[in-house]
Amino acid sequence: MDNVVKKIVKVLIAEDSPIIARVLSTLLLSDPQIQVAGIARNGKEAVEMAALLRPDIITMDIHMPIMDGYEATKQIMAHTPTPILIASAAVQADGIDRMFRAVSYGALDLIDISGLASGDKELGTKFLDSIKLLSRIKVVHHMLAKMEGRLTDDPFAASEALLPRGSDQILAIAASTGGPMAILSILKMLPQDFPCGIVIVQHITSGFLEQFAVWLKGECRLKVEIAQQGQAIRPGTVYLAPCDLQMRVGEGGVLRLSDEPLYDGHKPSGTILLESVARVYREKAVAVILTGMGKDGAKGMREVKARGGRTIAQDEASCIVFGMPKEAIDLGAIDHVYPLNEIAQAIVEQINRGA
């Protein structure tokens, strides 16, 4: 008989709509492992209740009176760091921008909850799973402040020169939870004349990918696009795998998209992308696996290494979740492990060595 007592997860709901707050509360209380610690009607209350109640996790709406969810996230992460899931039922362009800015200040993930009121069971299950998983993550004060100096520096302006554009190499990245900020921190430090294309699988809630691309484009010097079928991979351009499609690279450096089943629970799958990169680019591939739950990408990294490519993993200390990098390391698939702020420099060194 299993006598293990499972920890009760205390959730603070920050939501100004009484209807949505009631929907969230009812759903959360349907799980015996979850307790609703309180409901904040605006960002100011959320900040105060986070300090008073010390919840295990906060569901944070973005559009709220007095203080919005973006500002509340900044305040909470500065003073009483708590796992935060950005959960909004009104996802508009301006709201999504503020959602990603909240991620910049330490929110762990974001989810569109507009389907919960209509009884979307799949979304409800995903929401509850996210609450329980994210509540276990240890967060720290001033996550963005710790990285701002790293993000604003241009480490290559006075250091190792890059190869001319048109390199026959490729950079592939796989990430999940915590990935948006990690990806940005790397891309922001890569120069505009980066000599090869960059293909990325980032697990992200459907509906947020387009704004994620816009956010990256506005924050770094590279071109950022959502991948399209048959698109040629060009130097200095970032290609994000579309939601609900698998992405591969094909012979001749073109992108191949397909509507096929999930692989290891993911679509797009980091492993599927990385295995295709290994087959096509072999020793000309540089692959990076970043923060994220689960094991997606680990087998793909192993294939890249087996075919002569170079592999890099984010270290445990700088990961929001060490799941994906740890799986790849445990498989013997990784050549180098670096803290996040050193990965961009390592990529440039590997690209130059692979010429």
Q: Average pLDDT in the 240-247 region?
A: 96
CA-based R_g, the chain, Å? 20
Mean pLDDT across the stretch 194-206?
92
Query: What length is written for the chain?
Result: 355
- In whole numbers, what is the pLDDT of the chain averaged over residues? 88
Closest of 130, 126, 64, 131 to residue 98, by C-alpha: 64
**What is the per-residue pLDDT for 260?**
92
Mean pLDDT of 179-189: 93
Instruction: Tell me the H-state helices in the chain.
Output: 18-29, 43-53, 69-79, 93-104, 121-134, 143-152, 179-187, 209-219, 270-281, 298-306, 323-330, 340-353
pLDDT bracket for residue 93 (50, 70, 90): low
The reported pLDDT for the residue numbered 149 is 40
What is the arithmetic mean of pLDDT over 209-232?
92
User: What is the pLDDT at residue 268?
Assistant: 96
pLDDT > 70? residue 301: yes
Contact 305, 330 (CB under 8 A): no
Q: What was the pLDDT predicted at 157?
A: 40
Asked if pLDDT for residue 92 goes beyond 70, the answer is: no
CA distance linking residue 217 with residue 341, whole number of Å: 20
Active-site pick, 104, 167, 203, 318: 203
Banded pLDDT at 345 (limits 50, 70, 90): very high
pLDDT of 200 > 60? The answer is yes
Neighbours of 118 (CB within 10 A): 8
Catalytic residue among 176, 185, 269, 276: 176
pLDDT value at residue 224: 96
Q: Is the pLDDT of residue 79 over 70?
A: yes
Residue 146's pLDDT is 43
Residue 177 and residue 297 in contact, taking contact as beta carbons nearer than 8 Å: no
Return the structure tokens found at 218.
């506005």
Angle between helices 209-219 and 179-187 (to 10 degrees): 30
Mark 186-214 as b/e (b = at least 16 C-beta within 10 Å). Answer: bbbbbbeebbbbbbbbbbbbeebbebbbe
Contact present, 343 and 312 (Cβ < 8 Å): yes
Indicate the residue type of 133.
Answer: L
pTM for the whole structure:
0.86
Report pLDDT for 141: 64
How far apart are alpha carbons 303 and 296 in whole angstroms?
13
pLDDT at 355 over 80: no
| Domain extents in the chain | 9-141, 155-353
Residue listed under structure tokens 């935060």: 84
Decide: 229 and 256 in contact? Cβ < 8 Å.
Answer: yes
**pLDDT at res. 145:** 40
Answer for the pair 61, 16: CB distance below 8 angstroms, yes or no.
yes
Q: CA–CA separation, 130 vs 334, rounded Å?
A: 28
What phi and psi, each to the nearest 5 degrees, are found at residue 43?
-65, -35
Tokens of 134: 């994210």
The reported pLDDT for the residue numbered 153 is 45
Between 160-169, 229-238, 259-268, 335-344, the lowest mean confidence (pLDDT) is in 160-169
Q: Which of 199, 167, 170, 166 is nearest to 355 (CA)?
A: 167
**Is residue 229 predicted with pLDDT exceeding 80?**
yes
> Are 9-141 and 155-353 the same fold in CATH?
yes
- Residue 117, number of CB atoms within 10 A of its CB: 14
- Fold held by 155-353: Rossmann fold (3.40.50)
Q: Which pLDDT score, from 0 to 100, does residue 140 have?
A: 72
pLDDT bin (cut points 50, 70, 90) of residue 43 is: very high
CATH number of 9-141, picked from 1.10.260.40, 3.10.580.10, 3.30.70.3280, 3.40.50.2300: 3.40.50.2300
- Residue 296 catalytic? yes
Evaluate the CA torsion angle 85, 128, 183, 112 in order and state its sign. Answer: negative
Q: Is the pLDDT of residue 332 over 90?
A: yes
pLDDT of residue 351: 92
More confident residue, 192 or 197: 197
Q: What are 88's strand-pairing partners?
A: 112
Helices and strands counted in the chain (H then E): 12, 14
> Given strand 285-289, what is the order of strands in its sheet?
223-226, 237-240, 197-202, 170-175, 285-289, 310-314, 336-338
CA atoms within 13 Å, Cβ hemisphere of 141: 3
Q: Which of 31, 56, 61, 296 is catalytic?
A: 296
